Chain A
Amino acid sequence: MAEVHVIGQLVGASEFPSHSLFCKWGLHAGGAWKLIAGVKEGQTHVDNPENEQAAYWSHPIDVHYATKGLQGWPRLHLQVWYQDIHGRNELYGYGFVHVPSSPGCHTIECVTWKPNGTFQEELMQYFVGGCPQLKNPDLVYAGADRYKLHTTAMGKVQIRLNVILRNFDKYGVEC
């Protein structure tokens, strides 16, 4: 069986309206993929940065997959949340990125988006905070029903991932 190691960090985030942020992340892979070691989801700490331009998490990701097929290559999906000084959490964005398919060290910038609400909801959001959330979070990494959504762009998440492949050349796979 071919094996894939994904070892790296969620470095941080930038270009959001404010940077007291944390991130819930998860890895999703197809049916042919089996997780041998490592945790495939987690939540970072909350960073309230001195430098207001970027939040830093340095959250380690270390997973070991074994696979029998190329379909369902793992995807990293993220939810970026904002925590204000009173401790309330507000969703700031969803994003996903495929784990790179070539071995080596990759620096990835994952773009994020936030769902829009109706005019009344946006008005309420302006005063009270909060944000519409997806009922089904799978929509972040699946494209099937996206055409019904209205969204707005939010900031970027910096991710550094190292990919180590094993036995792919024995199966004749070129990457």
Chain B
Amino acid sequence: MAGINPNPTVFLLMANGQIESAVFPDFDELYCKFSFVHGQDWVVTSGLEEGISQITRRSRDERQLFVWNFPLDITYKSTNPYGWPQLVVSCYGPDVFGRDIVRGYGAIHIPMTPGKHKVKVPMFVPVSSSKLQQITSWLLGRRPEFVDPKVVAQGEGRDVTRVRSQGYAMVSFNIVTRDLKKLGYDLSPSDVTSIPLSSTVIS
């Protein structure tokens, strides 16, 4: 870690954690892919931006759980909170004929306050617009899917899509930030009570 910098120009965000598990009542086997999506002012300094997990089977007990325990570890540097990174999770599994189809997409912002967080990510899958398309896609194994899974992390262009939400994933994060306070950003209420000793003149 670099030494103490009295006038930082960038702040750092370190996020580690795991994609713990998922609940999907209708399916038997799943694997998941994750990727991190961020704005233009953000740069990854270390860690993997994308990955694929193992294939796991639903547990036979009353929990009916898919467990991946899949590690996440990424560090960002940025000058601006706009474009705060998001984790995009997409789950895939075999259908009745053995072909790989998408079972859900979900997106969540990396939490902003330092500490430990556990978040529930709802998963949804795009649906065909007509009944005939639904039947042919079931037969041929070519279900509707997004060309780029990262589209679930943005708001534009989604108003014409229809989806079906089915299931959710549990993701846990540990967050550490550096120099956010020195750059003047307040992320939790206690930060805003301190008046700096060197009172700067505001125009």
Contacts of B187 in A (CB 8 A): 103-104, 162, 164
B113 touches A105 (CB 8 A): yes
Closest to B154 in A: A60
A48 touches B200 (CB 8 A): no
B62 at the interface (CB under 8 A from A): no
B122 at the interface (CB under 8 A from A): yes
Question: In the bound complex, what is the Cα–Cα distance between A158 and B160 (angstroms)?
Answer: 21
A50 touches B113 (CB 8 A): no
Within 8 A of A (CB), among B93-152: 106-109, 111-113, 121-122, 124, 127, 152
Query: How many Å from the CB of A68 to the closest CB on chain B?
Result: 11
A122 at the interface (CB under 8 A from B): no
Question: In the bound complex, what is the Cα–Cα distance between A51 and B25 (angstroms)?
Answer: 10
Closest to A46 in B: B162
A15 at the interface (CB under 8 A from B): no
| 0/1 string, A151-175, CB within 8 A of B gives 1 | 0000000000010111111111111
Query: How many Å from the CB of B33 to the closest CB on chain A?
Result: 17
Number of A positions contacting B (CB below 8 A): 47
A7 touches B163 (CB 8 A): no
A58 touches B124 (CB 8 A): yes
Contacts of A102 in B (CB 8 A): 189, 192
Query: How many Å from the CB of A64 to the closest CB on chain B?
Result: 5
A50 touches B185 (CB 8 A): no
B39, B106, B158 — most chain A CB neighbours (10 Å): B158
Contacts of B4 in A (CB 8 A): none
| 0/1 string, A14-48, CB within 8 A of B gives 1 | 00000000100000000000001111001111111
Query: How many Å from the CB of B133 to the closest CB on chain A?
Result: 14
B49 at the interface (CB under 8 A from A): no
Interface residues of A, Cβ cutoff 8 Å to B: 5, 7-9, 11-12, 22, 36-39, 42-51, 55-56, 58-62, 64, 83, 102-105, 162, 164-175
Question: In the bound complex, what is the Cα–Cα distance between A162 and B111 (angstroms)?
Answer: 9
A62 touches B83 (CB 8 A): yes
When A45-B161, A61-B155 are in contact, do A170 and B82 touch as well, CB less than 8 Å? no
B15 at the interface (CB under 8 A from A): no
Contacts of A7 in B (CB 8 A): 81-82, 84, 109, 112
B7 at the interface (CB under 8 A from A): no
B61 at the interface (CB under 8 A from A): no
B164 touches A48 (CB 8 A): yes
B153 touches A60 (CB 8 A): yes
Question: In the bound complex, what is the Cα–Cα distance between A43 and B188 (angstroms)?
Answer: 29
Closest to B81 in A: A5
A169 touches B186 (CB 8 A): yes
B50 at the interface (CB under 8 A from A): no
Contacts of A164 in B (CB 8 A): 81, 112, 185-187
Query: How many Å from the CB of A39 to the closest CB on chain B?
Result: 6
